[in-house]
Chain A
Amino acid sequence: MISFEYIANSIDTWLNATFNSGLALAIEFVLVGVLCIGLFAVLGLVLIMMERKVSAYMQVRLGPNRVGPKGMFQTTADTLKLLFKEGLTPTGSDRFLFNLAPFIVMIAAMLVLAPIAFAKNFQIWDINIGVLYVSAVSSIGVIGILMAGWASNNKYSLLGAMRSGAQIVSYELSAGLSILVIVIFTGDLSISKIIESQQTGWWIFRGHIPVLIAFVIYIIAVTAETNRAPFDLAEAESELTAGFHTEYSGMKFALFFLAEYVNIFIVCAIGATLFLGGWMPLHIGNWEAFNTVMDYIPSSLWFIGKTFFLIFVIMWFRWTFPRLRIDQLLTLEWKYLLPISMFNLLLATLIAIQGWYF
């Protein structure tokens, strides 16, 4: 059966047979880099399109429907427009930091793509501290946002960046603690091992109460971390016009915009991997027949389906909830989510030690 695993392995075998191992590795690096950039662009376009359609149906309107069949190429056209637009750098801004910031945000988003398992044995880098790597690298993005806010020499941008910094640093804790719950159950940080451990059932079913709590907290925390409504204070349109990217235009703005959507994909992919089994098909204990039928659905489809389900949930939030205020946002994290996460971690430890999970 043709799968991503098969394709990747064939390319690898062919390269190693044709060139010497050093050159083959170099070519593979280039291939992976190109794939990453391609994935970045495609994900951005697809998710923006999805968001516009989802919001349109929630808002009793049609959404883009003119460019291409059912408006499929609307975002492509928008991106092309942004490419041709002049990228203004305002006077009085710190030119170096101003131009560097979108790239830092983009690079941070791209780096996190590395350990994500897109299908069975199809992963860029199966690092043994995968989960730790993800939470470490994804925080680099906030530096780019702070940089953008500071370098713009605009008070709205500065306020937005300040909010964003406070927000991401706070919610990182809860997200990290809910990831730890799964790490406690699996006893491993590697993404591939975590997926393997869900062979008999996804953690959200097997780990019952603590994992359910962790899942809910994870979804709330990552919504905040990606600066999405109801936590979109960094770019609160009605308060700060556009927050940290007020002064950005053209492709530099597009990079922020695309990075936001790629970040959503990443956090949802991680969420799907940890709680919903990643590419692992739905297996129920030892119902052999059922499990075999489920195995016929390609692993990549499982992964994409789960990830897009979570993305849909996060988009659903955005189009139905009002925005929190900055002090309410921090209260929610420090007074509610963090204590609950900590208690939940203890509970998970107890349950894992006693073996009270399925």
Chain B
Amino acid sequence: MVEEVGVNDTGDLIINVGPQHPSTHGVLHLVITLNGETIKKIEPHLGYIHRSIEKMCESLSYRQFIYVTSRMDYLSSHINNHACALTVEKGLQIEIPERAKYIRVLMDELTRLASHQLWWGAAAMDVGALTPFFHAFREREMINEIMEETCGARLTMNYNVPGGVMADIHPNFQRKTKDFLKFFKTKLPEYDEMVTGNIIFQNRMKGVGILSKADAISYGCSGPTARASGVNCDIRKLYPYEIYDKVQFDEILDSSGDCYGRYLVRMEEMRQSISIIEQLIDNIPEGDFQAKTKAVLKLPKGEFYTRVETARGDFGVYIVSEGGLTPYRIKFRSPGFSNLSALNHMACGQKIGDMVAIMATLDLVIPDIDR
């Protein structure tokens, strides 16, 4: 057996982080070239959880392929489904009822909250504080219960169908959501007390992994990662879909571009999501939750593209249709892939501990990157 020395020609240490490693949150494999504790190069190796979802979608009908997309970014599965449903509706020019729009947006924001809560816990865990993770999960559990009642699932919701949503909201939905918001609003200051204000946490995050505005654009970063560098890229504001143009919310921007900036942007986004839900929860219009559609959907010949804002950034669905029962080609634009590509740029010259902090604030979901 050839012995692996793990030192390159210049005498630098090469370590493999992953595919099984506590801080990669999944099966991401990073080959890191180290000089002592300082990182010289990071090379991400992908493909450990590649399930060829895009290819699978080509053999599924327009009603079926939506369900596969829940398995990509499993933390914002509802928003993924939403994007797919929107694309099909765009192709078929289906006008969906107002009630369905409200429900979809409410669910999107709840999903975003749940995703950011998990991210908050995991980010704190990555920099060494284990307790916040459990607190975050307590709150996330409440959202999961709301989802379970209305969608019948906790993680892979599959609630969106072309033409609206699969079922009407549960009678408890409004009451439980309001209870949750009331509870969560008392907990957010606790989050700040426990993590944001902690001096060790701030030292770990401030000035670490700086991504300039130009770099954020050239790497194609999106979502909170890019907004922390000052890029206006909130799809909900730029290309409003559903009823996002009717609700009041701010696009959170930060100019620092460091880990702490990304942290603050996500924390503030949670507050914005709460505000959006509060505006909508009492005003859900009566009516159908689903438009009448044909039993068999066939998109006309052509190309269709929609983008939505997931918890991680710009998620795009591109469908090429030949007019058949199934899409001719489907391509997903996932935010995690582009955000990961900036990792090497951000982490070079920093310490190993910084790399973990950067990965934590990029909020990577590996199945979203590999698909």
Asked if B37 and A230 make an inter-chain contact with CB atoms under 8 angstroms apart, the answer reads no
Looking at the complex, which one of B127, B138, B352 makes contact with A322 (CB distance below 8 Å)? B127
Q: Does B51 contact A (CB under 8 A)?
A: no
A155 in complex: contacting residue of B6, B133, B135, CB < 8 Å: B6
Cross-chain contact B203 with A328 (CB below 8 angstroms): yes
Pick from A236, A322, A325: contact of B124, CB below 8 A: A322
Contacts of A229 in B (CB 8 A): 128
- Are B131's CB and A323's CB within 8 A? no
Highest count of chain A CB atoms <10 Å: which of B21, B124, B127, B203: B127
Among B138, B354, B356, point to the contact of A238 (Cβ < 8 A). B356
Closest residue of chain B to A91, judged by CB? B1
Once A92-B3, A155-B13, A238-B356 are accepted as A-B contacts, the answer to whether A326 and B200 lie under 8 Å apart by CB is no
Determine the distance from Cα of A323 to Cα of B200 in the docked complex, in whole angstroms: 7
User: In the complex, which residues of chain B have a beta carbon less than 8 angstroms from the beta carbon of A323?
Assistant: 127-129, 200, 204, 353
Q: A59-B134, A155-B13 are in contact. Are A238 and B125 (CB under 8 A)?
A: yes
Within 8 Å by CB of A59, from B3, B23, B131, B201, lies: B131
18 residue pairs A–B, Cβ–Cβ below 8 Å: A55-B130, A59-B131, A60-B134, A163-B37, A237-B128, A238-B23, A239-B23, A239-B352, A239-B353, A240-B352, A319-B130, A319-B131, A322-B195, A322-B198, A322-B201, A324-B204, A325-B351, A326-B351
A335 interfacial by beta-carbon distance below 8 Å:
no
When chains A and B are docked, how far (Å) is the Cα of A233 from the Cα of B128? 9
Q: Is the CB of A322 within 8 A of B353?
A: no
**Listed residue (B3, B15, B135, B353) with the most chain A CB atoms within 10 angstroms of its CB:** B353
B-facing residues in A28-65 (Cβ within 8 Å): 55, 58-61
Q: Which of A58, A155, A238, A325 has the most CB of B within 10 A?
A: A238
A287 and B13 alpha carbons, distance in the complex (Å)? 65
Interface residues of A in 48-100 (CB under 8 A from B): 55, 58-61, 92
Partner of B194, one of A233, A236, A241, A320: A320
Are A159 and B195 in contact, with the CB atoms below 8 A?
Answer: no
Asked if A159 and B200 make an inter-chain contact with CB atoms under 8 angstroms apart, the answer reads: no
Proximity bits, A226-251, B CB within 8 Å = 1, else 0: 00011011001111110000000000
Which of chain B's residues have a CB closer than 8 A to the CB of A320?
129, 131, 194
Whether B356 and A322, one on each chain, are in contact in the complex, defined by CB atoms closer than 8 angstroms, is: no
Taken together as a complex, chains A and B put the C-alpha atoms of A230 and B199 apart, in Å, by: 12
A26 to B6, CA, bound (A): 52
CA distance A115 to B195 in the complex (A): 40
- Asked if B22 is at the interface of the complex by the 8 Å CB criterion, the answer is yes
Residues in B whose Cβ lies below 8 Å from that of A155? 6, 13, 15
**CB of A156 within 8 Å of the partner chain:** yes
- Cβ contact within 8 Å between B353 and A236: yes
Q: For the complex, what is the distance from the CA of A233 to the CA of B126, rounded to whole Å?
A: 12
Contact with B along A263-294 (1 / 0, CB 8 A): 00000000000000000000000000000000
Interface check A321, CB cutoff 8 A = yes
Q: Which residue of B lies closest to A229 (CB)?
A: B128
Task: Give the chain B neighbours of A241 by CB distance below 8 A.
Answer: 21-22
A44 to B195, CA, bound (A): 31
For B131, list chain A residues within 8 Å (CB). 55, 58-59, 319-320
Which residues of A lie under 8 Å from residue B130 when comparing CB positions?
Answer: 55, 59, 319
Decide if B37 touches A322 in the complex (CB within 8 Å).
no
Q: Interface size bucket, A side?
A: 20 to 34
Using CB atoms and an 8 Å cutoff, list the residues of chain B in contact with chain A. 3, 6, 13, 15, 21-23, 37, 124-131, 133-135, 138, 194-195, 198, 200-201, 203-204, 351-354, 356
* Docked CA distance A60–B133 (Å): 11
When chains A and B are docked, how far (Å) is the Cα of A237 from the Cα of B131? 14
B-contacting residues of A (Cβ < 8 Å)? Answer: 55, 58-61, 92, 155-156, 159, 163, 229-230, 232-233, 236-241, 319-328
How many pairs, one residue from A and one from B, have CB atoms within 8 Å of each other in the complex?
A: 85
Contact of A324 among B15, B124, B135, B200 (CB under 8 A): B200
Closest B residue, CB atoms, query A163: B37
Cα distance A322–B196 in the bound complex, in angstroms = 11
**Chain B residues near A61 (CB, 8 Å)?**
134
A58: chain B residues at CB < 8 Å are 131
- Contact across chains for A324 and B203 when beta carbons are under 8 A apart: yes
Q: What distance in Å separates the Cβ of B208 from its nearest Cβ neighbour in chain A?
A: 9
Bound CA–CA A321/B135 (angstroms) = 14
- A321 and B198 within 8 A (CB): yes
Which residue on chain B has the smallest CB distance to residue A59?
B134
**A residues within 8 A CB of B23?**
238-239
Q: How far is the CB of A13 from chain B (nearest CB, A)?
A: 51
A323 CB to nearest B CB, Å = 3
Q: State the CA gap A89–B229 with chains docked (Å).
A: 48
Selected contact of B128 from candidates A92, A156, A236, CB within 8 Å = A236
Q: What residue in chain B is nearest A240 (Cβ atoms)?
A: B352
- The answer to whether B352 and A159 touch across the interface, beta carbons within 8 angstroms, is yes
Taking A320-B194, A324-B200 as contacts, is the C-beta distance between A238 and B127 under 8 angstroms? Answer: yes
Residue of A92, A321, A322 most packed against chain B (CB within 10 A): A322
Closest Cβ–Cβ distance, residue A312 to chain B (whole Å): 15
Q: How far is the CB of B287 from the nearest CB of chain A, in Å?
A: 41
A324 to B13, CA, bound (A): 23
Contacts of A326 in B (CB 8 A): 37, 351, 353
Report Cα–Cα, A237/B133, bound state, in Å. 15
Q: How far is the CB of B193 from chain A (nearest CB, A)?
A: 11
The residues of B that contact A55 with a CB separation of less than 8 Å are 130-131
The smallest beta-carbon distance between A106 and chain B, in angstroms, is 26
Question: Does B200 lie within 8 Å of A322, measured CB to CB?
Answer: yes
Q: Is the CB of A159 within 8 A of B37?
A: yes
The closest CB in chain A to the CB of B4 belongs to: A92
Please, how many angstroms separate the alpha-carbon atoms of A327 and B352 in the complex? 11
A236 to B127, CA, bound (A): 9
CA A238 to CA B24, docked complex, whole Å: 8
Most buried by A among B23, B128, B130, B134: B128
Q: How far is the CA of A78 from the CA of B349 in the complex (A)?
A: 42
Closest to A320 in B: B131
Q: Cα distance A319–B128 when bound, in Å?
A: 9
CA distance A328 to B203 in the complex (A): 8
A154 → B minimal CB distance (Å): 10
